[in-house]
Amino acid sequence: MVDHVLVTGGAGYIGSHACKALARAGYVPVTFDNLSTGWRDAVRFGPLEEGDLMDRARLDQVFARWKPVAVMHFAALSLVGDAMRDPATYWRQNVTGALNLIEAALAAECRDFVFSSTCATYGDQDGVLLDEDSVQRPLNAYGKSKLAIEQMLGDFGASHGLNSVIFRYFNVAGADLEAEIGEFHRPETHLIPLILDAIDGRRPALTVFGTDYPTRDGTCVRDYVHVSDLIDAHVAGLGWLREGRGSRVFCLGTGQGFTVREVIEQAKLVTGRDVPVTYGPRRAGDAVSLVCGSERAARELGWKPARSNLAAMIEDAWRWHQGPGYSA
Ligand code: UDP
């Protein structure tokens, strides 16, 4: 009997890559998604159950139907700008949604839970290299809602034996090596796809948000991780839980940060094209610098990022961007 894994947000960018990797690893990924920001087309590796995390009865139905051995929880609202404008929606959807999901999982006796968290739970930390023990001081309702879910998982671990692997990562980039799936958000707000849109004329220019940050060139620093590497860690995290190794937090970063200007320069090199750029004010809620190491993931999960160098990430994103799957 093949094991099923419930993947919330399986129609989204990271979730769809997780489904592909899970199918390869011999699981059946069951996508649970309300298709608010995901795409039916991206669900190719297992069944789709359309539904909303706010609907507990629907969740119960899905657990009863598939009897998943584990949950991978990606579904969330994740835009800093929106979180600053509309914190209520972030708190409601992310936190109540996760609570419903945890309760439905426990009711179905599914106790292995992989959670997609973020370095945005750290907030600004003067550019230090973050790790699992760094203090968490999120700057916006997005980061705060993810931190609340981390804490909730801890509480349900203590009270109900829920085992969770929490991954904190930040700027996920790149695409499936076969360009079958990739990053496609509407509206798009992420740096690398916006740069590629500016390069191929889908939008007139990229606006750089702030040039007066205390960094080497005045723009924000981020740690970019290839989506395929990130998902490798998730599959290893699932194995960790299935082996009964208990709850654990892992940071998934490369330990190296790039400024917005450096990403733009690298995109020029990779594509051989110019990037039209304009300069604007800072975006509210942005941290100056977020870079995290992954020593624990390397040591305990055997995680070795293979394609998380900036050129490879932009190359893979560009291949997907130019292919038939990407349509603006
Ligand atoms: N950024 C930018 N212009 C844009 C989009 C993003 O200058 O149109 C910057 C943003 O301020 C941040 C970095 O690029 O410093 C990465 O932003 P993104 O939205 O991709 O990810 P986030 O760091 O918010 O998760």
For the chain, percent of residues with pLDDT exceeding 90:
91
Kind plus residue range of the DSSP H or E element containing 73 = strand 70-73
Angstrom distance (rounded) from CA 7 to CA 76: 12
Give the Cα-Cα-Cα angle 12, 43, 250 (nearest 5 degrees): 45
In which residue are the tokens 């740690």 written?
Answer: 223
The chain-wide mean pLDDT, for the chain, equals 96
Per DSSP, the residues of 269-309 read: HHHSS---EEEEPPPTT--SEEEE--HHIIIII----SS-S
Residues 6+ apart with CB under 8 A from 259: 215, 216, 217, 218, 219, 220, 221
Angstrom distance (rounded) from CA 202 to CA 35: 24
Q: Is 27 a catalytic residue?
A: no
In the predicted model, is pLDDT for residue 327 greater than 80? no
CATH code for the structural domain at 191-223+255-322: 3.90.25.10
* Cα 210 to ligand 1 centroid, rounded to whole Å: 10
99-130 per-position pLDDT tens digit: 999 999 999 999 999 999 999 999 988 888 99
Residues with CB under 6 A from ligand 1: 80, 171, 189-191, 194, 206-209, 220, 222, 260, 283, 286
Task: Tell me what pLDDT residue 15 has.
Answer: 98
CATH 3.90.25.10 residue spans of the chain: 191-223+255-322
Angstrom distance (rounded) from CA 99 to CA 66: 20
CATH 3.40.50.720 residue spans of the chain: 4-173+224-251
Domain 4-173+224-251: which CATH number of 3.40.50.720, 3.20.20.70, 3.40.50.620, 3.30.565.10: 3.40.50.720
- Looking from the CA of residue 280, the nearest atom of ligand 1 is 7
Band of residue 328 on the pLDDT scale cut at 50, 70, 90: low
Band of residue 1 on the pLDDT scale cut at 50, 70, 90: confident
Q: Please, what's the b/e burial string for 275-296 (b: 16 or more CB within 10 A of its CB; e: otherwise)? A: beeeeeeeeebbbbbbbbbbbb
Candidate list 90, 142, 213, 326, residue with the active-site label: 142
